């Protein structure tokens, strides 16, 4: 049997109904706010990661540009030695050593500057200390190297390669081509 409330007394279920609605509404709003904040946090996190990647890419490009300029300056400087060699038909060993030492002193970062003859044999290497294993080395000791050296000689090109020890260095061959006049 259903109990009837006394006069002046409210039914408990009716009295709790607005409180129940308020609690659920508050919980629903809190959950929605949490979802909203989590979504915003995720979006900001992704945006921050994208900005960081862009900043790293910009800095990497700056570093590459600096390296490119430095390498080109070094190549131009070495090309002057090659040009002098070609004009004179050779360079005395002591003059080559002096020029190479000046390059090494002015532009740290070279491992060595070498003169390689037409058979791709390393004849002079500055500095010799620490590079003894390269002295008299035939740079065309592998087929692909020989082909690349011959192509560079034919086309008067320069190209990078790994050092013979497999280290990751920039090694450029600056071909000097004998000029023939008719």
What is the total residue count of the chain? 182
Per-residue model confidence as pLDDT tens digits over 22-72? 888 999 999 999 999 999 999 999 999 999 999 999 999 999 999 889 888
Q: Which two tokens mark 167? A: 């280290």
pLDDT greater than 50 at residue 169: no
pLDDT band at 176 (very low <50, low <70, confident <90, very high): low
pTM: 0.58
Q: What is the pLDDT of residue 80?
A: 86
pLDDT of the residue at 152: 75
CA nearest to 128, candidates 100, 170, 105: 100
Q: How far apart are CA 39 and CA 36, in angstroms?
A: 5
């Amino acid at each position: 049997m259903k109990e009837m409330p006394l006069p002046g007394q409210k039914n408990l279920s009716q009295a709790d109904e607005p409180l129940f609605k308020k609690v659920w509404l508050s919980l629903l709003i809190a959950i929605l706010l949490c979802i909203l904040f989590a979504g915003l946090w995720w979006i900001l996190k992704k945006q921050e990661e994208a900005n960081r990647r862009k900043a790293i890419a910009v800095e990497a490009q700056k570093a590459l540009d600096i390296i490119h300029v430095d390498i080109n300056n070094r190549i131009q400087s070495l090309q002057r030695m090659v040009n002098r060699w070609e004009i004179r038909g050779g360079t005395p060993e002591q003059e080559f050593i002096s020029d190479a030492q000046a390059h090494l002193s002015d532009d740290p970062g070279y491992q060595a500057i070498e003169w390689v003859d037409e058979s791709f044999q390393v004849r002079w290497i500055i500095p010799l200390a620490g590079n003894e294993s390269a002295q008299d080395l035939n740079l065309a000791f592998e087929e692909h190297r020989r082909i690349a050296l011959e192509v560079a000689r034919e086309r008067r090109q320069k190209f990078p390669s790994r050092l013979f020890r497999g280290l990751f260095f920039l090694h450029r061959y600056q071909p000097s081509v004998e000029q023939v006049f008719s």
